[in-house]
Amino acid sequence: GQNIDQPTEMTATEGAIVQINCTYQTSGFNGLFWYQQHAGEAPTFLSYNVLDGLEEKGRFSSFLSRSKGYSYLLLKELQMKDSASYLCAVRDGDYKLSFGAGTTVTVRA
Tell me the closest approach of the beta carbon of residue 26 to another protein, in angstroms.
Answer: 13
Residues in contact with another protein by CB under 8 A are 4, 8, 31, 33, 35, 40-45, 48, 87, 89, 91, 94-102
Beta strands, E only, 3-102: 3-5, 9-13, 18-25, 32-37, 44-49, 53-57, 60-65, 70-75, 84-91, 97-99
- Residue 8 or 67: which CB sits closer to another protein? 8
Provide the minimum distance between the beta carbon of 75 and another protein in the complex, in angstroms, as a whole number: 20
Distance CA 4, CA 54 (A): 20
- Rounded Cα distance between 53 and 56, Å, is 10
Least CB distance from residue 106 to another protein, whole Å?
16
User: Which is nearer to another protein, 13 or 57 (by Cβ)?
Assistant: 57
